[in-house]
Amino acid sequence: MQTLSWRHTHHYVQGESVEVGDVPRHVVGIIRGSGLGFFDSGEVATHSIVIVHDFTDGTGPHSGYVTYAFEDGATLSLSYQGMSTTPAGQNSTLIEGKFAFLRGSGRFSGVEGGGDYKGKRLIPAAGGGEVYLDFAGTRSR
């Protein structure tokens, strides 16, 4: 097993949320984003991310998928799920959860493993949802 850690940043490029109607400010939605992954090896990869959320007052579960694309043509895809917590009266949201590698290509072909992530959404989703996450885990291959 090999350790792998990186800082992930993204912003929202497309999304839709709908009110559930059971309690005030309960929404479910899907968001597409893009950004960069800054890997501990010094590499920088681009990525696309899909986020599904179920929030009440900005707090609740989220899940989704990320695919990183590296300059050498390799790709690395993972799934994740966790919790987002928006403290009362604040615009930022604390984010944490677990991830699992799904597949890869090139030097990541046959990848297995996973780990944890933790970070923050710095501005509300309506303002572009600028996010950073720190990922740390282990992988085989």
Q: What pLDDT sits at residue 70?
A: 98
Q: What is the pLDDT of residues 91-141, one digit of tens each?
A: 899 999 999 999 999 999 999 999 999 999 998 777 778 999 999 999 997
CATH topology of domain 2-140: AOC barrel-like (2.40.350)
Q: What pLDDT sits at residue 129?
A: 84
Q: What is the pLDDT of residues 17-36, one digit of tens each?
A: 999 999 999 999 999 999 99
Q: What pLDDT sits at residue 96?
A: 98
If one compares 51 and 90, the residue with the highest pLDDT of the two is 51
Of residues 20, 135, 140, 141, the one with CA closest to residue 68 = 135
Q: Would you put residue 72 in left (φ > 0), alpha (ψ -120 to 50) or beta? A: alpha
